[in-house]
Amino acid sequence: MQISTAVQEKENNWLTILVTVVGIIVGIVLVGVVLARMGLLNGLRGGGTTAVSPGTILYTTEKMQFGQEVMRVEAGEPITLELDNKDMYGHSFDVDELGWHVQMPANDQVSAEFTAVPPGTYTIYCAVPGHREAGMVATLIVEP
């Protein structure tokens, strides 16, 4: 009698532990799914921008468009622009106010080094006749 009661209690304890463990696992999976969805949405939202970083920025042109609508850099930080033109015709990368003018040969990569000052919002455009009008305009934000 005494023994069977003890076994019964032991089984109840194991059941409680099992339910708790399963609950924790389900909780972790749900949090993971939520985080994955947030990450996916962030990835989609971030598609048109580049992160603020003092290092190298990859900037592409393709199908008569700049790859990123907004480029963010920090004022005073030296940056290396890796300009990758995927089109079969030439483009240029121009920011008049900062004196940035880089030719982008057809289907080629060029790199250029700049230091962005002062802080502000500037217009990036392609100076090849007709390209700016066709949509080759973007925004450069120099963060203070």
For Cu ion, the binding residues (CB under 5 A) are 91, 126, 128, 131, 136
Dihedral of the alpha carbons of 8, 9, 11, 17, in degrees to the nearest 10: 170
Residue 89, beta-bridge partner list: none
Q: Is 62 or 143 the residue whose CB approaches Cu ion more closely?
A: 62
Smallest distance from Cu ion to CB 55, Å: 26
Residue 43 CB, shortest distance to Cu ion, in Å, is 27
Nearest approach in angstroms of CB 122 to Cu ion is: 17
Expressed in angstroms, the distance from the first to the final Cα of the chain is 79
- CB-nearer residue toward Cu ion: 74 or 91: 91
Question: What residue spans of the chain are helical by DSSP H?
Answer: 2-45
